[in-house]
Amino acid sequence: MNNGSRIFLVGFSGAGKSAVGRRVAHLLGWEFVDQDEYIVERSGIAVERIFADEGEEGFRRREREAIDELSTRDKLVVSGGGGVMLQEECRTTMLATGLVVTLDARPETISARLQASQGEKGAEGMVRPMLAADGNSNNRIESLKRERQWAYSLADWTITTDRLSVEQAAHEVVRAWRRVGRATTWESDPLLAATVTVETGAYPVLVGWDILEPQLGTRLLAAGVAGRVFIICDSNVIHPYGRAAQRSIHKAGLEVGLFTFPAGEASKTLDTASVIYQWLAEQRVERRDAIVAVGGGVAGDLAGFIAATYLRGIKLVQVPTSLTAMVDSSIGGKTAVDLPVAKNLVGAFYHPEFVLTDVSALTTLPGRALREGWGEALKHGLALDADLVDIYESKADSLMALEPRLTTEVVARNAAVKARIVTEDERETSGLRMLLNYGHTIGHGVEAAAGYNEYLHGEAVAIGMTGAARLGMAFGVTPADLVERQALLLKRFGLPESYTDVEPESILESMSRDKKVLAGQVSWVFLESVGHGVVYRGVPQDLIAETVRELRD
Ligand SMILES: NC(=O)c1ccc[n+]([C@@H]2O[C@H](COP(=O)([O-])OP(=O)(O)OC[C@H]3O[C@@H](n4cnc5c(N)ncnc54)[C@H](O)[C@@H]3O)[C@@H](O)[C@H]2O)c1
Ligand SMILES: [Zn+2]
């Protein structure tokens, strides 16, 4: 049985098995073995010689022996040969004793990578002369891939590496391992990360690992929910989170219904809301019933808006599943839907009974969404919590690999930062909540000018923080070494510091149209020191324009 302490990377040569495998081993503190190198070391014979003297069958026999031996070693990452999955015996052994991950890539990527790594040794080298010989390596790779696809697809998990760096691919492997093949599940007691105190009362933000199913139902009972519960979740998270929520509520003895809407910002509209109102009406939802939002910020904002307005307000619980939703949107009571002219134009302040954050949900969040979420989390540290920045700097790798305890603590700490600000400035009146806008002035401009699909919000905020730091330095507020420190941090979390393919002038124009700008003079959040953002006005326009231009890559 797979005891969770062994990972086999399989797939075509050129998909990055060795480089990624080494990095995965480093992230987990395990050993790394390249299968072909292992065979060479063990036999003292080069792969080419084995093929020449013993034929392919000789090599395959040695491959079976190698996999047999390696499958008894613990804390091991193995990069398998390109053909290893085709051997039934090897395949069965690997699947039974470890997590098998296929690294996939398009033929063009494979061809380019193989060319870049020519001279490398290994059984795959046997393929390379063929590639060179027929002069059309893409076609050759494509047909070889097709032949092998059936076997690669039997892996536990597949990662497409075309657009990933080695580092990013390694993180994806570690996340797959946490999700599918981890040795022990660690179910933490939910941490009371924070209490948000607002005019209408106080509510807790509970954060833990693997807590959704064990906790949601009983927490609803504890919060006094006695009626029926209606889950609103997006189509990407119904499995497993929507269903887990449903089971949990059912086990607690409460009646439960579930509505799924198509995932994505396009659903955050009055049209979707009215379909859901209709559903609630058909179910004869009453004021003592409750709505549970399961999903990212879109589910939270949409379900929150519906809870705020249906019957002039019914109970709401937030179950955020994206990092953005965990550290940002689920806390603070802002709910909204978009209008065609602008995002979040129709909404209400409406707070939940509680927020239940199961950090383990991040293991299924797509990598880019995870990285953009770190953008907001880094912002919390940089503008408001210096200790968080220390953690980000010293433990970036473990965080990106979603090490359960550490990630749970860090998400909880982020929730606490947001909760503190919201408690002190519930309705954005004292200016404190403004500090959460660090990086957002230029960030919003980039998002709007580039089109919302080009840069995700957290990526635009990263570019905006870079701009704000440089501008703050030019304005004489932000120390130079802090600008540098922030740049390193953004890099480590895989976030952009500059933009391409957008005209600086259109960013500046979008910035001047921003609703917050129209209301008066632009407010800027600058860092005076780490964890200490301050609001400034009266920043000269030419300085702003110059900074925005220099942010172009
Ligand atoms: N209310 C606020 O204070 C506030 C603050 C920030 C952002 N927002 C809003 O939040 C939205 C952005 O949030 P978001 O980035 O979470 O967007 P999202 O809800 O669209 O989620 C991003 C994507 O990730 C998927 N997803 C979420 N959790 C997942 C998981 N655990 N596993 C796999 N897939 C998962 C979603 O289905 C979606 O495709 C925007 O509409 C924004 O306006 C609101
Ligand atoms: Zn933001």
Q: pLDDT digits over 321-370, tens only?
A: 999 999 999 999 999 999 998 899 999 999 999 999 999 999 999 999 99
Q: How many CA atoms lie within 13 A of 450 on its CB side?
A: 22
Q: Which pLDDT belongs to residue 453?
A: 77
Q: Is residue 291 within 8 Å of 265, Cβ to Cβ? A: no
Q: Is residue 406 part of a domain?
A: no
**Helices and strands counted in the chain (H then E):** 22, 16
Domain end position, chosen among 119, 153, 180: 180
Q: How far apart are CA 374 and CA 392, in angstroms?
A: 10
Residue of the CA atom closest to atom 7 of ligand 1:
329
Q: How many CA atoms lie within 13 A of 152 on its CB side?
A: 23
For residues 450 and 525, membership in a common domain is answered with yes
Residue matched to tokens 């060479």 = 40
Task: Report pLDDT digits (tens) over 50-78.
Answer: 999 999 999 999 999 999 999 999 999 99
For residues 132 and 260, membership in a common domain is answered with no
Q: Is residue 289 part of a domain?
A: yes
Return the ligand 1 atom nearest residue 364 CA. Answer: 32
Q: Which pLDDT belongs to residue 515?
A: 58
Report which secondary-structure segment, H or E, holds 15: none
Domain end position, chosen among 119, 152, 180: 180
Task: Report pLDDT digits (tens) over 488-538.
Answer: 999 999 999 999 989 999 999 999 887 555 456 788 999 999 999 999 998
25-34 average pLDDT score: 92
* Average pLDDT taken over every residue of the chain: 91
What percentage of the chain exceeds 90 in pLDDT?
77
Residue 167, class by beta-carbon neighbours within 10 Å (0-12 exposed, 13-18 middle, 19+ buried)? Answer: middle
For residues 453 and 360, membership in a common domain is answered with no
Amino acid identity of 291?
I
Q: Which pLDDT belongs to residue 157?
A: 92
Quick one: pLDDT band at residue 136, thresholds 50, 70, 90?
Answer: low
Q: How far apart are CA 62 and CA 81, in angstroms?
A: 12
Q: How far apart are CA 534 and CA 528, in angstroms?
A: 7
4-14 average pLDDT score: 90
Q: Is the pLDDT of residue 184 over 70?
A: no
Show Cβ contacts of residue 240 under 8 Å, excluding neighbours closer than 6 positions: 364
Q: Is the pLDDT of residue 128 over 70?
A: no
Q: Is residue 397 part of a domain?
A: no
Quick one: pLDDT band at residue 183, thresholds 50, 70, 90?
Answer: very low
Q: Is 309 helix (H, G, I), strand (E, B) or coil?
A: helix
For residues 165 and 213, membership in a common domain is answered with no
Q: How far apart are CA 227 and CA 284, in angstroms?
A: 12
336 token code pair: 């909204």
Q: Is the pLDDT of residue 182 over 60?
A: no
Q: Which ligand is nearest to the CA of 299?
A: 1
Q: Which pLDDT belongs to residue 516?
A: 59
Q: Which pLDDT belongs to residue 129?
A: 43
For residues 466 and 541, membership in a common domain is answered with yes
Ligand 1 lining (C-beta closer than 6 Å): 234, 236-237, 263-265, 268, 295-299, 301, 321-322, 324-325, 328-329, 332, 334, 343-344, 361, 364-365, 369
Q: Write down the H helix ranges in 296-385.
A: 297-309, 323-324, 367-384
Q: How far apart are CA 80 and CA 93, in angstroms?
A: 12
Residue 374, class by beta-carbon neighbours within 10 Å (0-12 exposed, 13-18 middle, 19+ buried)? Answer: buried
Quick one: pLDDT band at residue 125, thresholds 50, 70, 90?
Answer: very low
Q: How far apart are CA 453 and CA 442, in angstroms?
A: 17
Q: Is residue 346 within 8 Å of 334, Cβ to Cβ? A: no
Q: Which pLDDT belongs to residue 160?
A: 92
Q: Is residue 384 part of a domain?
A: no
For residues 318 and 243, membership in a common domain is answered with yes
Q: Which pLDDT belongs to residue 118?
A: 65
For residues 245 and 134, membership in a common domain is answered with no
Residue of the CA atom closest to atom 16 of ligand 1:
296
Q: Which pLDDT belongs to residue 388?
A: 98
Q: How far apart are CA 22 and CA 170, in angstroms?
A: 9
Based on the structure, what is the number of domains in the chain? 3
Domain end position, chosen among 365, 395, 413: 365
Residue matched to tokens 């807790």 = 204
Q: Is residue 398 part of a domain?
A: no
Q: How far apart are CA 376 and CA 393, in angstroms?
A: 15
Q: How far apart are CA 276 and CA 268, in angstroms?
A: 12
- In DSSP terms, 409 is beta-bridged to none
Provide the annotated active-site residues.
Answer: 312, 334, 376, 418, 428, 433, 437, 440, 444, 457
Task: Report pLDDT digits (tens) over 150-163.
Answer: 999 999 899 999 98
Q: Is residue 262 part of a domain?
A: yes
Quick one: pLDDT band at residue 132, thresholds 50, 70, 90?
Answer: very low
For residues 164 and 217, membership in a common domain is answered with no
Q: Is 94 helix (H, G, I), strand (E, B) or coil?
A: helix
Q: How far apart are CA 240 and CA 155, in angstroms?
A: 20
Q: Is residue 4 within 8 Å of 92, Cβ to Cβ? A: no
Residue matched to tokens 């033929």 = 107
236 C-alpha vs ligand 1 centroid, how far in Å? 11
Peptide bond into 340 cis (omega under 30): no
Give how far the C-alpha of residue 475 lies from the chain's centroid of Cα atoms, to the nearest Å.
34
Q: Is residue 1 part of a domain?
A: no
128 C-alpha vs ligand 2 centroid, how far in Å? 48
For residues 357 and 273, membership in a common domain is answered with yes
Give how far the C-alpha of residue 458 lies from the chain's centroid of Cα atoms, to the nearest Å.
11
274-288, 450-464, 513-527, range with the lowest pLDDT: 513-527
Q: Which pLDDT belongs to residue 181?
A: 64
For residues 159 and 208, membership in a common domain is answered with no
Return the ligand 1 atom nearest residue 304 CA. Answer: 1
Q: Is residue 438 within 8 Å of 379, Cβ to Cβ? A: yes
Q: Is the pLDDT of residue 428 over 90?
A: no
Q: Is residue 168 part of a domain?
A: yes
Q: Is the pLDDT of residue 200 over 90?
A: no
Task: Report pLDDT digits (tens) over 402-425.
Answer: 999 999 999 999 999 999 999 998
Q: How far apart are CA 364 and CA 173, in angstroms?
A: 11
533 token code pair: 């953002």
Residue of the CA atom closest to atom 19 of ligand 1:
296
Q: Which pLDDT belongs to residue 474?
A: 95
Task: Report pLDDT digits (tens) over 430-449.
Answer: 888 999 999 999 999 999 99
313 token code pair: 């307000």
Q: How far apart are CA 297 and CA 324, in angstroms?
A: 7
Show Cβ contacts of residue 209 under 8 Å, excluding neighbours closer than 6 positions: 186, 187, 188, 358, 359, 360, 404, 405, 407, 408
For residues 360 and 214, membership in a common domain is answered with yes
Residue 490 domain boundaries: 428-550
What CATH number is attached to the domain comprising 319? 3.40.50.1970
Q: Which pLDDT belongs to residue 179?
A: 78
What CATH number is attached to the domain comprising 508? 1.20.1090.10
For residues 154 and 297, membership in a common domain is answered with no
Distances, alpha carbon 495 to alpha carbons 164, 358, 370, 386, 490, in Å:
13, 24, 11, 20, 5
Q: Write down the H helix ranges in 6-159.
A: 17-28, 35-43, 47-70, 88-97, 107-116, 127-134, 137-152
121-135, 202-216, 413-427, range with the lowest pLDDT: 121-135
Residue of the CA atom closest to atom 41 of ligand 1:
298
Q: How far apart are CA 351 and CA 362, in angstroms?
A: 24
209-234 average pLDDT score: 95
